[in-house]
Structure 1
């Protein structure tokens, strides 16, 4: 049976993984949003980038409350590669909104998985509730991006 210290460390690692995927999402939404042609989608992507920053701040505050002094996460390697690939596609061609939304949905798939993994941990109730609320928003955002991508495919 894990000790309280080991359990605390597992929780910290899970939350840091979520923070990393939020950093990826924040940067990804901002980067992809710059290339979108549809003004409504551009605004949505900017708002989602800001929402990821807010979620990150909330989780960093929770880690601070639980004694983690410094949280210096930078995102995931996969997220950096994903953004680099999106940037390369944008530079080599004129990407359409459909392909940009497809790229965004892939990032949202990763965010959903990371939240699910974190929520499978034994978490303090307030932290579990916060993650659950954030995960619900991530799912809603994923579905919004997917639905708009699918609508563009039908045109």
Structure 2
């Protein structure tokens, strides 16, 4: 199913690990925003992303890979701790939280674009990654649009 014995598997593992970071990031963001609308949005996006992660984990398991650590990666944990710190300093400023979520979504989108562009995924794996990427792109675009809609509004 993969062009190389471990190349596609490694790409799939990277994507699942980064998706776990995204799930945790959305859940963390939901805890740090004041707006009930943003809390709901981040909770919904986290739930959707968790389903996407489950789908990719299943595909990874078919090839003998270990599922993503639901606690996320070290980089993801560091990003969440930075979000915690920033929230404590800014007082859970919704705009600051949204900016950090958008930054994380941009990173995730880049990981998917790199995996898709590398041609290491074939067959079912490629299709599943493409479907997951559609969700990632939608989440990124939604958070990015929210961020831009808040530009120019006072902080706090």
**Using the alignment, how far apart are the partners of 1:95 and 1:5 within structure 2?**
44
Unaligned runs of 5+ in 1: none
Number of residue pairs the alignment of both structures matches: 151
Partner in structure 1 of residue 114 of structure 2: 117
What TM-score comes out, normalization by structure 1 length? Answer: 0.88
Does the 8 A contact of 1:23 with 1:53 survive in 2?
Answer: yes
User: Is 2:67 the partner of 1:71?
Assistant: yes
The alignment partner of 2:5 has SS state of helix
- Structure 1 residue ranges, 4+ long, deviating more than 6 angstroms after superposition: none
The aligned counterpart of 2:138 is: 140
Q: 1:123 to 1:23 in 2, by over 3 A?
A: same
CA RMSD of aligned residues (A): 1.9
Residue equivalent to 1:30: 27
CA distance, structure 2, for counterparts of residue 5 and residue 122 of structure 1: 6
**CA distance change for structure 1 residues 108 and 5 in 2, over 3 Å: closer, same or farther?**
closer
The residue aligned with 2:105 is: 108
- Aligned-pair distance for 1:115? 0.7
Cα 1:72–1:109 shift into 2, 3 Å: closer
Gapped regions of structure 2 (runs ≥ 5): none
| Rounded Cα–Cα distance in structure 2 between residues aligned with 1:121 and 1:113 | 15
